[in-house]
């Protein structure tokens, strides 16, 4: 995930290539929930997977409630702090595909001619 969402957009750059605006990544969804890394993501629909977030914490700092942010097999946009947003699989472990702003793929050089 890029530190800022603004980037220079290069014509004809494909996701996950140097200079691309978008970067595809995946994260596991487990039956006990797997924390989604910090960042801003577009989440693609995934069967048997819900995206949940901490919605209540008691005075001792313990989580007392979680809420569903994206329902089963529903896509959308999420903001994760890297702690309180997680992917939960209702049946088996699954893989969720996320799309984010390219955080810095390796480039082939500086000032290359096209």
> Are residues 48 and 88 in contact, defined by beta-carbon separation less than 8 angstroms?
no
Domain assignment present for 1: no
Domain assignment present for 16: no
Domain assignment present for 46: yes
Q: Is the pLDDT of residue 5 over 60?
A: no
Domain assignment present for 55: yes
Domain assignment present for 6: no
Domain assignment present for 53: yes
Domain count of the chain?
1
Provide the pLDDT for residue 1: 46
Domain assignment present for 3: no
Provide the pLDDT for residue 60: 84
The DSSP string of 37-89 is PSEEEEE---TTEEEEEEEEE-TTS-EEEEEEEE-TT--EEEEE-SSSEEEEE
Q: Show the domain range for 79.
A: 22-101
How confident is the model over 30-88, as pLDDT tens digits? Answer: 988 899 999 899 999 999 999 999 988 888 888 788 899 999 999 999 999 999 999 99
Domain assignment present for 65: yes
């Amino acid at each position: 995930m890029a530190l800022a969402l603004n980037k220079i957009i290069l014509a004809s750059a494909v996701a996950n290539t140097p200079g691309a605006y978008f970067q595809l990544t995946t994260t596991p969804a487990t039956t006990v929930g797997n924390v989604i890394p910090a960042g801003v993501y577009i989440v693609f629909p995934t069967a048997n997977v819900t995206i949940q977030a901490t919605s209540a914490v008691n005075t001792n700092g313990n989580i007392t409630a979680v809420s569903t942010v994206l329902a089963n097999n529903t896509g959308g946009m999420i903001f994760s702090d890297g702690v309180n947003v997680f992917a939960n699989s209702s049946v088996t472990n699954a893989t969720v595909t996320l799309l984010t702003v390219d955080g810095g793929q390796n480039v082939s050089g500086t000032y290359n001619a096209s």
